[in-house]
Amino acid sequence: MKSLISRFVSSATTVHVLGIYAASFALLSLLIANPGYFSHDELQRFDFYVQHGLATYFSQMLNLNPGSSFATPMRPLAFFIQGLQNLFIHDYPLAVHLSAALATATVAALLYALVIMFDLSRRTALLAALLFECSPLVVQATGWSAALMDQWYVLWGLGCLIAVKFFLTQQRFLYVTVVLISVLTLAALLSKETAIVWPGALALFVIMDYRQVYNRRLWIAAAAWSLPVIVYLAYRLLGIKASLATDASSPYSIGLHNVLQNLFIYFVFPMVPKLGELQNWIFVPNQILAVSVALHLFIVGTLARLASLRVAALYVYGYFLFLLPLLFIPNESSHYLFGSALVLSVALAWIVFNSGQLLYRIVGWCCILLLAVHSAFFQLELYQDGTCMSRLAASSESLYLSHGRPGHIQYRFDPQSKGHVLVRYTHDRNQIGLNYPVRMSVLLDANSPPDPAAVQAYMNTECIAYLVQ
């Protein structure tokens, strides 16, 4: 037994996988160490947990209500994980952020396994996994704990893709593998609706080898992967129909006019070094956008030059596969790119290790360096916002308790401060710390008259809230 454990620990695969997890502590350090949170979403669910208890939270959140629109979340698995995180949100934010980083590391480890299964070298697989962890495309989905749905639907789907690959190559026909494919698909669907796109990953096998079209097992795998999606879509059919008729002012309204802009925004994002939240792309100078497009096109062109047009097309297809349902809505966000990071990471790892020409390798490493810098800037942005929210939460609780638990606190903020953090902290919430009910509002217009019945608070540039005398 001892020798078996020794061989396992010393194997190259084990060392690499352990290295992937160890690297996550360094590559995602600012996200792990964040003392606060990104937005109101996780805080609203924490408020519900505090006010109603964990059992009520689970009974409300783990239901299978199809909702009035497809944008209405039906994510019991993801909400279960979030419910467990509620136990730590107030006192131990480190535990929440660490669990997110470990989920990202697990996806990276699965990516490592998948790359090896497709007969690429171990060093290519290891670099792809490490690039995934330090990619700016995974930062928001990892740093924003309420976006854990993006991590988990990709994690289950990646496991499903590995199961399909195993099913196509195993000698014996094992029905348990077919069942596993369907179970993992269902887990992905119950983590996030975007998982409906995962069966499209089967195109990978056909594009790489057209003869797979005649492979009976591929069709069986496709049926096992697609059946849960078809049942899921049928169950939510009324919600889908309602989504098609959504008012144009909704951030989840569907329209073909959104597609071209979204294609451009999501394509350009990886190579814009200081772009964090995706909505801020309009402030990026045109020259930087042009260079960013050129660098991403370089990756596509290099794959076409060194491999084939088929591989380049597969890259573009895979990059946008995870974005297909989102291209039609006006609400852009960086956390939607979590799945696309898989494809970008593998492409760059293959370029730097399989290019026979020095020029391609140099530019490939330059792209990797740029992605690492972009990730560092984005992590720093989330860390600063989280620090701001942590200070705001602590000072607001102190203000609330020291002034007789007022029923309404109205905030103003310094124009040079992080006003967006204040808006996120107070949005649709009635709780400060563990105390409720309390109404919080923000005066966005400096000329708006204050509510005479409310305690007037002010947030300064240090994110400290204090009483206005």
DSSP string computed for 234-272: HHTHHHHHHHHT--TTSTT---GGGHHHHHHHHHHGGG-
Q: Looking at the predicted structure, is the pLDDT value of residue 216 above 80? A: yes
What pLDDT does residue 249 have? 59
Q: Which strands, in side-by-side order, build the sheet including 408-413?
A: 439-442, 408-413, 455-459, 465-467
Nearest-angstrom CA–CA distance, 338 and 323: 10
Of 243-257, 324-338, 368-382, least confident by mean pLDDT is 243-257
What pLDDT sits at residue 251?
67
Nearest of 367, 371, 442, 431 to residue 400 by alpha carbon: 431
Q: Which of 19-23, 100-104, 223-227, 465-469 has the lowest mean pLDDT?
A: 465-469
Describe the crossing of helices 93-117 and 12-27 by its angle, rounded to 10 degrees. Answer: 140
Among 410, 408, 412, 441, which residue's Cα sits nearest to residue 426? Answer: 441
- pLDDT, residue 253, reads 72
Q: How confident is the model at residue 8 (pLDDT cuts 50, 70, 90)?
A: very low
Q: What is the pLDDT of residues 160-209, one digit of tens each?
A: 999 999 999 887 877 899 999 999 999 999 999 999 999 999 999 998 88
Amino acid 3: pLDDT: 52
pLDDT in tens, 333-386: 999 999 999 999 999 999 999 877 888 999 999 999 999 999 999 999 999 999
Beta bridge partners of 409: 440, 455
Per-domain residue ranges of the chain: 12-382, 383-467
d(Cα 25, Cα 31) in Å, to the nearest integer? 9
Q: What pLDDT is recorded for position 1?
A: 43
Which span out of 243-247, 325-329, 417-421, 446-450 was modeled with the highest average pLDDT? 417-421
pLDDT of the residue at 72: 81
| 220 pLDDT higher than 70 | yes
Alpha-carbon distance of 195 to 230, in angstroms, equals 12
Nearest to 435 by CA among 386, 393, 392: 393
Q: How large is the angle between the packed helices 237-244 and 216-235, nearest 10 degrees?
A: 70
For residue 43, pLDDT over 90 is answered with yes
DSSP class of residue 451 equals P
State the DSSP string of 61-128.
Answer: HT-----SSTTS---HHHHHHHHHHTTTTTT-HHHHHHHHHHHHHHHHHHHHHHHHHTT--HHHHHHH
Q: 34 with 95: CB under 8 angstroms?
A: no
291, two tokens: 């260079």
Q: What pLDDT does 11 receive?
A: 81
Task: Please choose, from the candidates 297, 351, 324, 70, the residue with its C-alpha nearest in 3D space to the C-alpha of residue 203.
Answer: 324
**pLDDT confidence of 238, banded at 50, 70, 90?**
confident
| pLDDT score at 172 | 80
What is the Cβ-side half-sphere exposure of residue 318, based on CA atoms within 13 angstroms? 24
Least confident residue range of 95-99, 128-132, 243-247:
243-247
- Whether the bond between 437 and the residue before it is cis, its omega within 30 degrees of 0, is yes
- Can you give the pLDDT at residue 463? 98
* Mean predicted lDDT score pLDDT of the chain: 92
| 267-294: pLDDT as tens digits | 999 999 999 999 899 999 999 999 999 9
pLDDT at 71: 74
Confidence of residue 247 (pLDDT cuts 50, 70, 90): low
pLDDT at residue number 359: 87
Reading phi first (left if > 0) and then psi (alpha if -120 to 50, else beta), residue 173 is in beta
Share of the chain above pLDDT 70, in %: 96
Q: Is the predicted pLDDT of residue 5 greater than 60, yes or no?
A: no
Which pLDDT tens digit goes with each residue over 412-433? Answer: 999 999 999 999 999 999 999 9
- Predicted pLDDT at 10: 54
CB 105 within 8 A of CB 275: no
Q: What are phi and psi of 409, to 5 degrees?
A: -115, 125
Around 47, how many Cα atoms within 13 Å sit in the side-chain half-sphere? 19
Structural contact between residues 429 and 50, judged by C-beta atoms closer than 8 angstroms = no
Question: Which are the contacts of 345, defined by CB distance < 8 A and separation ≥ 6?
Answer: 111, 128, 129, 131, 132, 135
| Confidence (pTM) | 0.94
For the ranges 28-42, 74-88, 240-254, 408-422, which has the lowest average pLDDT? 240-254
Mean pLDDT over residues 399-411, rounded? Answer: 95
